[in-house]
Structures are given as C-alpha cells and as structure tokens.
C-alpha cells in the first residue's frame, strides 16, 4: 500500500536536513516569495531539497495541516518549520539564518539575486489517494 500524502510529506521533512516547500522549482520559481527564499539559501550556500506544491493542491493543504502555517513557501531545517519568506528574509538580514546553518563569518546580507540553480532536482510528492 502506498504511503499517505501526509506520510510522504512528513517523511520528506524528516529525511532532508533542509527542505523548502515552494511554488515552482529552485530553477524556475513560480512566485516572488519562493524566488527570494531560494536566493537566500543559495546565497548562504546551503544545499536543500525542494518540493513544488503547485501540481496538486492537496500537497499544500496537507503541508499546512502538518506545519500549522498557511502560506507558501515553507522552510524546514532539521525537521522544524523555520517559517515563510518574510521570516526567512528577516533571519537572513539579521544573520540569524546563517547561525541556524552553523555558518560563521557569513558575508553581510544583501538583497539576494535569483540564482540559477539549487543543485539537486526537486522532490516529487504525489497524491496517490485519488
């Protein structure tokens, strides 16, 4: 029996040290908030997994039920929700985000430009309950 959508999402969060649920992919974000969050992670040089929530509205719905956070993107580090774009940007600008990743002597935070790629391809979570 295939894992439930809830279990697939929970497993992706647990299995990836850093995972971003976003609109689009790191190579082609489909909203400005997702693009800014990807750019921050890339600027810090943090490898991360990504999940595009757009192919199936149930993914976004189940993710919000798990995280108790209504907006996308959602960044998780070590299984814990860090937050959405605004929180990630504030933490980046203050240097707190670099600390979360154990990055010392991070360069001063500037408005990150969109970077071309994040490294590994996005994860695919499918709703197989239909």
**What is the model's pTM?**
0.81
Structural domains of the chain in order of their starting residue, each with its CATH number: 5-100 (3.40.30.10)
Contact 42, 57 (CB under 8 A): no
Largest Cα separation within the chain, whole Å, is 49
pLDDT at position 130 is 37
Contact 25, 43 (CB under 8 A): no
Give the chain's residues under pLDDT 50: 111-118, 128-130
pLDDT at position 128 is 45
How confident is the model over 20-53, as pLDDT tens digits? 999 999 999 999 999 999 999 999 999 999 999 9
pLDDT at position 3 is 79
Tell me the average pLDDT of the chain: 86
CA distance 19 to 28: 16
pLDDT at position 121 is 55
Calculate the CA 32 to chain-centre distance.
13
Question: Considering only CA atoms, which of 121, 122, 120, 102 is closest in space to residue 44?
Answer: 102
């Amino acid at each position: 029996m295939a894992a439930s959508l809830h279990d697939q999402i929970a497993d992706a969060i647990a299995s990836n040290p850093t995972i971003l649920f976003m609109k689009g992919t790191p190579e082609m974000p489909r909203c400005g908030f997702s693009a800014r969050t990807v750019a921050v992670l890339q600027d810090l040089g943090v490898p991360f997994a990504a999940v595009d929530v757009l192919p199936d509205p149930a993914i976004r719905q189940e993710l919000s039920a798990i995280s108790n956070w209504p907006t996308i993107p959602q960044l998780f580090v070590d299984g814990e929700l860090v937050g959405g774009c605004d929180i990630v940007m504030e933490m980046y600008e203050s240097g707190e985000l670099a600390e979360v990743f154990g990055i010392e002597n991070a360069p001063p935070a500037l408005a990150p430009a969109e970077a071309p790629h994040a490294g590994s391809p996005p994860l695919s979570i499918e709703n197989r309950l239909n």
